[in-house]
Structure 1
């Protein structure tokens, strides 16, 4: 009996201790979406839980004490926090926001095949970059955001007005199609300006396809496409604000608001405002280092609830921008004159687009878009006034034929109106005067695609498109894609081949043709370019025992061009000569993406691309100007869970590229050096709603040579002597026979600067 007393006392004490317990509950999100099946554990104990379909979890009967609670899920960065359960905090509530590990394993994509499909199952390689990827290096435009995507480079085309385009695997901007929600919005005139002013707070993800996509998307998708997917109005945050400024005086504001109209409609309103009004000339050439800008963009998207979950959404965007660059003493009264040199551009642009699923038993979608672009610009004393209107409609029918065939049939029509004050739309009257003849192009087309499941691990995609250009006739674009994947989905092989074509419009695509610094010369009628492209892509995913995820993504690419249109800057330093190449051009290379996601919260995303882009005519091989031989990008980040603090180290590096010198006597280097832009950022979270971020851009303070603008002291060439043939004559005041020229540009002029910003989100 006496032996039972100590045991009774022990059990009584234990019962009392056990009674001193509490609970831990909360909800787990990634962005706006709750996460199901996330693992929740109190470290170094046996207590844990799994989140439900709404992201909620509950751990009960937890003894009083201090704990480390960790939430983890495959494909996401684990988060850890300290909690205390005691008499004052018996029921602890703690929510978690998990960030994708930047190695999303089975995302949904639409760009490769024009239908919603798992990224792993897509026979077309599609790269996906979510909003968190771009937050690691905040920028005021999508154009700048793409600088950390492997094989994609924003290229500035002018040292004065800082306009540019997007290069994919060495191919210039006109070979890249830019879509918003799958609609071809950015093209022609807006190739230069359309990637600015999209409110980044409304961007859900960006899909990038490298390689031919003309079969589905038409002529401008020769080199690839960039599809900007905006948020769904039904699931976007209730309100979001992202505001940051830099030590150079730049201010960027992104605002987003979700609201409803009854129970049938939801809307997403976004506003982007960017302002920079501080002329700076650190390199001492007398010109602004960075273009001054005042830009506002308003975006509105609606989603309508329909019976049987049929799709109906439409959106609109308006952009106004006033930008100028030039001599430091330039002001608006000098606009268009020859006293002080400046490049001033007013842009008014509107867009409307949407998708409507027909009320039929078959899956038939009607997609539509329209846009208008009005540009009033002057380059010194040269004016460029242009208007462009584009209307687009597309009807597509998706049909599953048995278990093996996923069929797509579509027809499209595109109308393009273009008018400017250049020779491109001039008409010569019988009396010798000049008239006006706007360019009007009709482009009907039909396309068909069949995705064939040859086996559980083998897919074949066959596609064919026929377009009839009202100016150039019929054009056929076939493509074929093959995909093999291992049974465990850890290894994937994709082989792609296809044909593309492109009808060039020099004045809407090449800023150098507008500056007035050179005379534009055309040799013959420019014929459409044609190309053949082949890609081989291999993806390997490795899962280690400690839950580290490694992804290797390697691609070899090759494109062969006929009738390539080459801008010749070198034959005559006072001219740009455009002509179809009497030979061929080739773009070839390899790229490798490496993603490492560690359960500790440490992540590495890095990429390397090597390429050779050249033209060959009459046996002479010439490297393409402003095209790097090698490039690399990286994003290294680590999250400190206890502090809700994240550090991002991002950057890029570029190898030598041939530069557009004016002549063999031009004293400037014929090739650029190796150069790198690197950035560092700290982000601190405060609960679920607030984030404050700060950092430094261009840590190495790299800027191009101060003499990048040739003869910046004489922008109107008053001190230049020409002979009877229009060639520049060397003189004592101009020993190298140069003219004013701002096209020698390979890197931004903006040096090191600090930035500070905050984000506020109501979910």
Structure 2
């Protein structure tokens, strides 16, 4: 803590003589409609022109609520919710429109380098200084990106080296003694190439137990990530990019007296995860007149984890290659592609007796047809052949109508197909004392989705800019692998659905920019989800009925000051109880995380910022007797069971519970102050 604040003071003195009296930046929409996007159609096009709705969030948006990773930053995006799946190790995933993390594909520069085993880790440690923007598609994108993109896509796009500053530094620390250091460097290698190097280091080593259950409220972490990107300069000005990332993290949570000497033992409970990742990606434009591209990515993920006495060792490797041909023919804009993906997975669980190897061969075609000056039709289809599961066909259709230059109507429909790898996706299957029951061979999940979208932009005479966007969607699963917590409180049962699952929702975004220094980004989502299994209809766990997100900025040029007020509000969601006697709330109460930040911009190339996170001091234990069931007996030494293996109530265990940390739906971290600085040299 002293070191980082000493560095803050040093850079403040360094820049004190370089005062800048320019006013703050001119008004600009946060989610600009003229920005070029690529995620919807795999080719550059403005947001207003693409037939596939794409939301864009710039690096400036990420700065409104500074976080140590992209995973946390997405909490301020409408319809997107980072979900914590464990109160101890704090692993999680990203929910989009009510669908859980495995249904969302996460890519970096369009390359599928983040897998189900590593979603939370893949979104951690990406240096924010190197992020240009984040593009989000809500709805099926399987016809372009493959079977994982059932619910949507999050594409993290890094900066082009020519646009990156020579040096950037972003450092902050909090009153909880969390420290984040983010550095970026740019260099030219003669006239042949330019390179950017990003370093991210995060450390949190201060065990805190504010709810007095003898367990850490927040997982302790020591993380380092190195990202390096090269753009090679070619005579024909064609694109050639190579990038790589190394990631290592040591995280643990558990009883306050835990240390590494207890790792894997039954004396003191702890969950400890060592993660090592390597990533490589490249894009090469062929030196011919036609627009043809070759892309490549490879990842290696090694995880060494213990959950109490349970050891989980897992390795996953993915190699991906893709060919694209972008061809225009009169009114048709064709995109032809072929891809090959090799996946290797192995772990030490009984579900993986031998290593799983899969090779997927893919062919896809997309035709964007200009019907009239105001109407566009997009047709797409993808054929995948999986050597383990056979043929997979995913069609797609989209229609766009521009009645005026400021209005856009869109309709998108498509199918999804996803192969479940249970132990990489369900943390609850690894932690706690519930027995995992798999009743049958789990078949692939299949879904259908339709999305309606309307976008309107308005520019008033006083230079006020207003845009609003309305969307509605419907997702229907003919098969979905849903953990059953209800049939037996001591088991998690996995089986094919034998019914259906559906989600119906509507959402709206408002983006307001005024010439008076006020910017507002507001989003609201309402949805209704249900599962029907053998005639019984239930509401999915950990799925909210409504949510709201906002980011309000007020610039005060005369004071060189900018104020950001960000937050979210989530409605009630069903929670996984351990039985009818469990005293915890079955449904969460509405909850909100709100933050305020002050940024001082008087000095050239330098910003000093600080504020308060979670100003309402909300934590999920509010109103609950406890979060972690049987925290006083994590190895169930004093639990009595009946002949069927069910915990029975006793004087010492009146609710008949077993140890379980999966009653998690929000971050268990209260109010904290943060202070940081940003410095750059162009």
> With structure 2 as the length reference, what TM-score do the two structures score?
0.96
Structure 2 stretches of 5 or more lacking a match? 1-19
Is it true that 1:708 corresponds to 2:627 in the alignment? yes
Provide the secondary structure at the position in 2 that maps to 1:722. coil
Is it true that 1:459 corresponds to 2:387 in the alignment? no
Could you tell me how far apart the structure 2 residues matched to 1:734 and 1:93 are? 66
Aligned-residue CA RMSD (Å):
1.2
Residue of 173, 194, 201 corresponding to 1:273: 201
Could you tell me how far apart the structure 2 residues matched to 1:98 and 1:470 are? 55
- Superposed, 1:537-616 pairs within 5 Å as 537-616=453-532
**Partner in structure 2 of residue 413 of structure 1:** 340
Could you tell me how far apart the structure 2 residues matched to 1:578 and 1:378 are? 22
**Partner in structure 2 of residue 381 of structure 1:** 309
Deviation at 1:727, TM superposition (A): 1.4
Could you tell me how far apart the structure 1 residues matched to 2:21 and 2:79 are? 44
Could you tell me how far apart the structure 1 residues matched to 2:631 and 2:612 are? 30
Task: Choose 130-139 or 305-314, whichever is displaced more.
Answer: 305-314
Deviation at 1:103, TM superposition (A): 4.2
Deviation at 1:735, TM superposition (A): 1.8
Contact 1:589 1:609 in 2 (8 A): yes
> With structure 1 as the length reference, what TM-score do the two structures score?
0.85
Provide the secondary structure at the position in 2 that maps to 1:333. helix
- Superposed, 1:492-507 pairs within 5 Å as 492-507=408-423
Could you tell me how far apart the structure 2 residues matched to 1:372 and 1:745 are? 29
- Superposed, 1:255-334 pairs within 5 Å as 255-334=183-262
- Superposed, 1:45-60 pairs within 5 Å as none
Task: Choose 527-536 or 512-521, whichever is displaced more.
Answer: 512-521
Residue of 172, 179, 204 corresponding to 1:251: 179
Structure 1 stretches of 5 or more lacking a match? 1-91, 427-436
Could you tell me how far apart the structure 2 residues matched to 1:257 and 1:420 are? 38
- Superposed, 1:428-443 pairs within 5 Å as 437-443=354-360
Provide the secondary structure at the position in 2 that maps to 1:455. coil
Cα deviations by residue, 1:588-647 (Å, 9 ceiling, x for unpaired): 100010111111110111010001111012322110100111100000111011222100
Residue of 634, 637, 640 corresponding to 2:556: 640
Contact 1:97 1:688 in 2 (8 A): no
Provide the secondary structure at the position in 1 that maps to 2:148. helix
Could you tell me how far apart the structure 2 residues matched to 1:100 and 1:355 are? 31
Is it true that 1:393 corresponds to 2:321 in the alignment? yes
Contact 1:192 1:509 in 2 (8 A): no
Deviation at 1:704, TM superposition (A): 1.1
- Superposed, 1:439-450 pairs within 5 Å as 439-450=356-367
Are the structure 2 counterparts of residues 663 and 95 from structure 1 closer, same or farther at C-alpha, using a change threshold of 3 Å? closer
Provide the secondary structure at the position in 2 that maps to 1:193. helix
Residue of 234, 240, 246 corresponding to 2:162: 234
**Partner in structure 2 of residue 422 of structure 1:** 349
Contact 2:31 2:58 in 1 (8 A): no
* Equivalent pairs, count: 660
Could you tell me how far apart the structure 1 residues matched to 2:269 and 2:461 are? 64
Contact 1:103 1:597 in 2 (8 A): no
- Superposed, 1:101-120 pairs within 5 Å as 101-120=29-48
Deviation at 1:516, TM superposition (A): 4.6
Deviation at 1:649, TM superposition (A): 0.4
Cα deviations by residue, 1:67-115 (Å, 9 ceiling, x for unpaired): xxxxxxxxxxxxxxxxxxxxxxxxx996874463314131100000001
**Partner in structure 2 of residue 745 of structure 1:** 664
Residue of 377, 388, 393 corresponding to 1:471: 388
Is it true that 1:733 corresponds to 2:648 in the alignment? no
Could you tell me how far apart the structure 1 residues matched to 2:46 and 2:577 are? 47
Cα deviations by residue, 1:13-66 (Å, 9 ceiling, x for unpaired): xxxxxxxxxxxxxxxxxxxxxxxxxxxxxxxxxxxxxxxxxxxxxxxxxxxxxx
Could you tell me how far apart the structure 1 residues matched to 2:209 and 2:31 are? 41
Is it true that 1:722 corresponds to 2:646 in the alignment? no
Contact 1:704 1:749 in 2 (8 A): yes
Task: Choose 542-551 or 518-527, whichever is displaced more.
Answer: 542-551
**Partner in structure 1 of residue 3 of structure 2:** none
Could you tell me how far apart the structure 2 residues matched to 1:308 and 1:390 are? 32
Cα deviations by residue, 1:144-202 (Å, 9 ceiling, x for unpaired): 00000000000000000001000000000000000000000111211232110100111
Task: Choose 752-761 or 619-628, whichever is displaced more.
Answer: 619-628
**Partner in structure 2 of residue 82 of structure 1:** none
Are the structure 2 counterparts of residues 93 and 336 from structure 1 closer, same or farther at C-alpha, using a change threshold of 3 Å? closer
Provide the secondary structure at the position in 2 that maps to 1:625. coil
Provide the secondary structure at the position in 1 that maps to 2:116. coil
Could you tell me how far apart the structure 1 residues matched to 2:360 and 2:398 are? 26
Provide the secondary structure at the position in 2 that maps to 1:539. strand
Q: Structure 1: which 4+ aligned runs deviate by more than 4 Å? A: 92-99
Residue of 172, 175, 193 corresponding to 2:121: 193
**Partner in structure 1 of residue 6 of structure 2:** none
Contact 1:348 1:375 in 2 (8 A): yes
Residue of 283, 300, 314 corresponding to 1:355: 283
Provide the secondary structure at the position in 2 that maps to 1:191. helix
Deviation at 1:686, TM superposition (A): 2.8
Could you tell me how far apart the structure 2 residues matched to 1:711 and 1:297 are? 36
Deviation at 1:563, TM superposition (A): 1.3
Provide the secondary structure at the position in 2 that maps to 1:220. coil
Could you tell me how far apart the structure 2 residues matched to 1:733 and 1:573 are? 19
Could you tell me how far apart the structure 1 residues matched to 2:176 and 2:23 are? 38
Deviation at 1:250, TM superposition (A): 0.2
Deviation at 1:209, TM superposition (A): 0.2
Could you tell me how far apart the structure 2 residues matched to 1:243 and 1:116 are? 33
